[in-house]
Chain A
Amino acid sequence: MIRRFLLGAAFAVTAAVTLPVAAPVAHAQEAAAEPELLKGDWSFSGIFGTIDKASAQRGLQIYKEVCSNCHGLYEMSYRNIAALGYSEEQVKNFAAQYQVPDLNDDGAVVQRPAKPSDKFVRPFPNEKAARAANNGAYPPDLALIEKSREGGADYVYSLLQGYKTPPADVKLSDGQYYNIYFTAGGQKIGMPQPLTDGAVTFADGAPNDLKSEAHDIATFLAWAAEPEQDRRKEMGVKVMLFLIVLTGALYYAKRKIWANVH
């Protein structure tokens, strides 16, 4: 009996070991050269975490005033920001600040104010134009940035605070800047430092030092990458509780039914 259990347990453990080993190890290749990321204290981490909407609203403001000059947010539509606590009027007014192309009755392309149903306006019409305006570097779209980089919110948070004076042996060409967290480009990044203390002023007087700004934009981008996350986790808790009860009921049913066999 004990031997059977040990066999089964070892079996399952080995199976269970295969999985976590493969995934993180796969990305461990880059870990060696990488300085450890700064860890933000995220409201949305863990099973019961939720997005801090006030922080995300400030992050939207940062995006609008700073990032949107170069970075798109293409997968998002203006109507999506209603989830951050804005009213229908506020969403309409936000969208109307932007101009989008449309056809008039003669079939000519004209600009009209954006509606909530429109997607976020991109700063450049296509990748080539984006590269041409940025020394050949492409400012990536930010809607999925935290899902497409190891470290997610911590990565964005760290990167924005990672601009340092380069050591003497590092040579930067024109249009390159030194950022200790940008390992994908050997710590030479094409983006000049976008945020500094006081770069953005918040109407509610919330702190606007670099660390807080980075925290707010990283929260906003975490939401932008996964707008469904609060609902997903809430549903998950209910599902897990249900399954625990169901598993318990089935376990006892199984024991009872098998009682006369063992």
Chain B
Amino acid sequence: MAETTNIPGTGHHGEGETRRDFLVLTASALGAVGAASVVWPFIDSMNPAADTLANSSTEVDLTPVAVGQSITVVWQGKPVFIRHRTEKEIKEAGDVNVAELRDPQTDAQRVKKTEWLIVIGICTHLGCIPLGQKPSDPRGEYDGWFCPCHGSQYDSSGRIRKGPAPLNLALPPYEFKTDTSIKIG
């Protein structure tokens, strides 16, 4: 077989060349599948690891929180305000004219049990942590929270009433495990 030309067969595809093309196609397809399945573990390794995911939910026992008291817990690295609201605060939250609110939401839409308000304690303006958790803190004109950075004021349902913040304090996902304990996240 004195083959002197080296350029792979172009032009007419005989029986042998069709089989070669098929083999090359099969091998290339397999190789591509292999390469793609190798890429996924690398990308997935960047997703939250098991230890990060283990900290993705926080359980809180509410029994020590007296009426009128607020506590702050950490969930996924963020502060969460849990307030055991007084009758006055609950009434004030319900009496508001929702149509006048910058971010209209009724109080009922924001709580599961009316005496417990649970919101993420990050001002929706530029991210500071509003004051109002401690009895000595200023709470603004609406009996809620006051953000010292630029003066945003939230009411007793955590809704924005005054100042530059555009939205109400965000609501974390949570559920009541018992009447006195919740799981956030």
Cβ of A242 and Cβ of B23 under 8 Å apart? no
B31 touches A261 (CB 8 A): no
A13 at the interface (CB under 8 A from B): no
* B1-28 interface bits toward A, Cβ cutoff 8 Å, 1 = contact, 0 = none: 1010010110000001001100110110
Select one of B24, B33, B51, B55 contacting A257, CB under 8 A.
Answer: B24
A252 to B25, CA, bound (A): 12
Query: Given B16, B31, B34, B54, which contacts A256 in the complex, CB threshold below 8 Å?
Result: B16
Give the residues in chain B near A257, CB-CB below 8 Å: 8, 20, 24
Secondary structure class of chain A's binding surface, majority of residues: helix
Secondary structure class of chain B's binding surface, majority of residues: helix
B126 in contact (CB, < 8 A): no
A16 contacts the other chain (CB 8 A): no
Contact flag A249-B54 (CB < 8 Å), given A256-B16, A257-B8: no
User: Inside 8 A of A116's CB, which chain B residues have their CB?
Assistant: 54
Tell me which residues across on chain A come within 8 A of B96, comparing CB atoms.
none
A250 to B29, CA, bound (A): 11
> A249 touching B26 by the CB < 8 A rule?
yes
Q: Does A19 contact B (CB under 8 A)?
A: no
Instruction: Known A-B contacts: A242-B33, A249-B27, A253-B24. Give 14 more (CB < 8 A).
Output: A242-B30, A243-B34, A246-B27, A246-B31, A253-B20, A256-B16, A256-B24, A259-B16, A260-B1, A260-B3, A260-B9, A261-B3, A261-B6, A262-B1
Chain B interface (Cβ within 8 Å of chain A)? 1, 3, 6, 8-9, 16, 19-20, 23-24, 26-27, 30-31, 33-34, 50-51, 54-55
Interfacial residues, chain A to chain B (CB-CB below 8 A)? 77, 79, 116-117, 242-243, 245-246, 249-250, 252-253, 256-257, 259-262
